[in-house]
Amino acid sequence: MKNEFTVGGIELKWDSESGEVLFEGGDVVFFWISAMKTFFDSIREISGVEATNLVLETTGFRQGVIVGEGFRDMKNINATNVVGWISNTYASAGWGKVKIVKMDEETKHFTLHIQNDWEYKLNQSDNKQNQGIFVPSHYAGVFTGLFGHDFWYEIRQYQNEENTYSIVEYFPSEITVQQNIHELSRRQEAEQIRQLEQLVDQNTKVLQNLVKELSSPIIPVLEGIIVVPMIGSYDEERAENLIFKTLEHLPKHQARYLLLDLTGLTKQISEHTAEMIDKLSASARLLGTEVILVGVSPELALLISQTFTNLKKFECLQSLQHGIYYALGKSGRRIV
């Protein structure tokens, strides 16, 4: 069974035997708006809001280009007859009411009133109140196809409870959907880099705190005697951390003797490290704690005697064991 209708100058044909529906000679299909909503919601759920908006805008535009180019060639649509054509064609297709209310033929600027289009109805059924994207961009594609150069748009007013229609302005532009796609890719890449940098920064801080805990341990060995192993090289931050942490623990342990174990230092002790030792011992002395240097290798002993003469004032012993015995002897105790 075949049926033919003409609505607003647009030919519609149904053939129930072949299952074909033709709109101006082209195959079409019908979808309930609720089905389209499911489709859009699925894209949004999978891709996220920003990517979905770009997909809708790009698809609407590109479909509009196909329509514009097709009707330009098929019905010779141009600036002289576009006003009537766009209203009749899209109303007949169930796209709601669209009307060109302002047109500048010389500059190719158009102002459209769009009312009750299918995307508006779709969004009305969604409590999230999404704004129209597909339909406005579609008409930009239509003008692009009709006139052979890129058009873009600005939405001046959305249809809502206060406004009975949307107002959209269209104009020739250098903006393209390809640029928008690339811009989104750049933004997404920048966001991924930012998140990665943030993660690296967080992990770095955790690692730094762990290094501080491991590299500057405070070890109470006997009553009144604590040991602080010095490991590796010391920059300003690490040196200040060692001094602060050590001085903080001296009163807690009622330390009378602080053994700085130099076993883990590099053979080439730096001037900065020597100054740190001097500063730490001076501060410890004010708290009633004597500093003893232990783990002094022959190489370090030679370096101290030749270069860092300010460290010669400390009692220097070859091993930690010697240092503990020395501190015990000075306090009148011994290991039995």
- Using alpha carbons, select from 103, 91, 72, 76 the residue that is nearest to residue 9: 91
CATH superfamily, domain 216-330, is: STAS domain (3.30.750.24)
| DSSP SS3 for 336 | coil
What is the domain partition of the chain in residue ranges?
A: 1-30, 32-175, 216-330
| DSSP SS3 for 224 | coil
CB count within 10 Å of CB 314 equals 17
> What sign does the CA torsion over 89, 95, 101, 105 have?
negative
- Using alpha carbons, select from 196, 251, 257 the residue that is nearest to residue 226: 257
The CATH code belonging to domain 32-175 is 3.30.1380.20
Per-residue pLDDT of the chain (336 residues; tens, 9 = 90+): 677 877 767 777 877 777 787 777 778 777 788 888 888 888 888 888 888 888 888 889 999 999 899 888 877 877 778 888 888 888 888 888 999 999 998 899 999 999 999 999 888 876 656 788 899 999 999 999 999 889 999 999 999 889 999 999 999 988 777 776 667 577 666 666 677 777 777 776 766 665 665 556 788 888 889 998 888 777 787 888 888 888 988 998 899 999 999 888 756 677 888 888 889 999 999 999 999 999 888 888 888 888 888 888 888 888 888 888 888 888 877 665
